[in-house]
């Protein structure tokens, strides 16, 4: 007899049971609906890319986390670590025939060999949307509006979209004559919420080779507080003499005003000069979205403008802007907040079965309910009523329909609300309407 293989999963990877997949699919389905409502079209790209396509695009840390190997043909390949860089490669290959501006969304798994922590895994799903081929501030505004609409539709509770423009930080660095150290400085600044100002300052001095005074000036900019108008008023003197910095301040004001004019709630938008985003390819507006009730879990939807990324693959200029919904982190946050419905079945209604003598009628009744838009499961075995109702309650069915010999004879059914424990007799011809009414539909 062969030895049993121990069933186990790799560190940082996990199985998804129905109770976690049902809210995950609802979240992704909602994102797709929102993206499509703004005119974003679906695409897909391979999980594997040539390593040269991915290497050096997200920064040293991302390169270290990449799952990289030689395939059977001896090619140097790697698993994608995000969906943006494959999209830049896709755009270089396909946009000449698709035309610009081109708006896409993409839902798929990505892989990073990083240390696992709360809400972070080595395999996770991203849910991206991007506009490529335009530098218009309206594309930046629309990105904000999509995020705002998405988080409202997902009913996650109060949220804040933090907004900045990396040109402002670059403008400050121009004034301080530190542009050559921009990448390590911005990477360090992106860790401010995680490790605090003292460690960020130490990292700036160690990794970027700047003085303690210069590090403090960068941190002083990042620590600006107040309402958006006050921060915007405080920025121009800090980037004085830098055309790039002044352009960043102007663009930021335009985007914030445009988002409010487009329907975003002003109190959901927060100008946050500390946001730099850790990936190297961002060039302008950047976004991070946090849940007000659990800010410590980090950003659940992030992104920004990347005007030069596609130039690595084509001579055609293809500026872009977009964001990525962190599906797994958002689900982890909602679970911690107790906002995920405890259901392990997508079926709202369970039809109880007592024997095989009425199977045809029972299946017909199920078809009638499905035709009305209800998700229905028929219990396959003739077990005691109590056992079937316990099964329905445990799985998360909302309603149970009981039709015994007497009900078949009278053309009625017993409709049981499993939450309130209320039961009512309904004519079979009116059952679908009664179920929908019970479900608030």
Closest among 323, 321, 318 to 95, alpha carbons compared = 318
Which pLDDT tens digit goes with each residue over 33-89?
999 999 999 999 999 999 999 998 777 788 999 999 999 999 999 999 999 899 989
d(CA 110, CA 58): 14
CATH number 3.40.50.620 given to 18-336: no
Q: What is the DSSP letter of 233?
A: H
Domain boundaries 349-438, corresponding CATH code: 3.40.50.800
**Would you state the pLDDT for residue 54?**
93
CB neighbour class for 75 (10 Å; exposed up to 12, middle 13-18, buried from 19): exposed
Q: pTM value?
A: 0.87
Q: Which helix (H) or strand (E) holds 160?
A: strand 159-165
pLDDT, mean of residues 161-167:
94
pLDDT at 279 over 70: no
> Are the CB atoms for 86 and 57 separated by under 8 Å?
no
Rounded to 5 degrees, φ, ψ at 317 are -75, 125
Residues 6+ away with beta carbon under 8 Å from 13: 121, 122, 123
Mean of the pLDDT values across residues 2-30? Answer: 93
Q: Where are the domains of the chain?
A: 18-336, 349-438
Q: What number of CA atoms fall less than 13 Å from residue 174's CA on the CB side? A: 16
Q: pLDDT tens-digit profile of 201-239?
A: 898 888 888 888 888 888 888 888 889 999 999 999 988
């Amino acid at each position: 007899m062969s030895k049993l293989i121990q069933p186990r999963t790799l560190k940082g990877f996990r199985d998804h049971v129905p109770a976690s997949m049902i809210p995950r699919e609802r979240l992704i389905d909602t994102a797709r609906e929102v993206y499509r409502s703004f005119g974003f079209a679906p695409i897909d790209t391979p999980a594997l890319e040539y390593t040269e396509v991915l290497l050096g695009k997200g920064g040293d840390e991302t390169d270290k986390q990449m799952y990289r190997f030689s395939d059977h043909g001896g090619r140097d390949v790697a698993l994608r670590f995000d969906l943006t860089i494959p999209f830049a490669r896709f755009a270089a290959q396909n946009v000449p025939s698709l035309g610009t501006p081109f708006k896409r969304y993409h839902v798929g798994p990505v892989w990073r060999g990083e240390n696992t922590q709360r809400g972070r895994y080595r395999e996770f799903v991203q849910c991206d949307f991007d506009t490529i081929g335009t530098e218009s501030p309206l594309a930046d505004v629309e990105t904000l509006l999509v995020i705002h609409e998405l988080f409202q539709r997902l009913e996650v509770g109060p949220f804040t979209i933090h907004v900045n423009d990396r040109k402002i930080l670059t403008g400050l660095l121009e004034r301080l004559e530190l542009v050559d150290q921009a990448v390590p400085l911005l990477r360090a600044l992106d860790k401010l919420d995680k490790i605090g100002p003292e460690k960020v300052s130490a990292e700036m001095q160690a990794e970027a080779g700047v003085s303690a005074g210069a590090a403090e000036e960068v941190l002083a900019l990042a620590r600006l507080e107040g309402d958006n108008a006050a921060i915007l008023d405080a920025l121009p003197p800090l980037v004085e003499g830098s055309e790039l910095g002044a352009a960043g301040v102007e663009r930021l004001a335009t985007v914030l005003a445009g988002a409010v004019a487009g329907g975003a709630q002003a109190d959901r938008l927060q100008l946050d000069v500390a946001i730099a985003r850790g990936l190297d390819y961002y060039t302008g507006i950047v976004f991070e979205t946090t849940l007000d009730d659990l800010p410590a879990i980090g950003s659940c939807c992030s992104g920004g403008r990347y005007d030069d990324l596609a130039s690595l693959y084509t001579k055609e200029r293809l500026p872009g802007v977009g964001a990525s919904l962190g599906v797994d982190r958002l689900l982890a946050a909602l679970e911690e907040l107790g906002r995920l419905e405890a259901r392990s079945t997508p079926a709202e209604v369970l039809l109880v079965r007592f024997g095989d003598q009425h199977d045809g009628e029972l299946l017909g009744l199920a078809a009638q309910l499905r035709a009305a838009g209800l998700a229905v499961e028929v219990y396959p075995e003739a077990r005691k009523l109590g056992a079937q109702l316990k099964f329905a309650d445990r799985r998360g069915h909302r309603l149970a329909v009981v039709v015994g010999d007497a009900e078949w004879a009278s053309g009625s059914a017993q409709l049981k609300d499993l939450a309130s424990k209320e039961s009512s007799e309904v004519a079979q011809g009116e059952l679908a309407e009664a179920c929908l009414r019970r479900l608030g539909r």
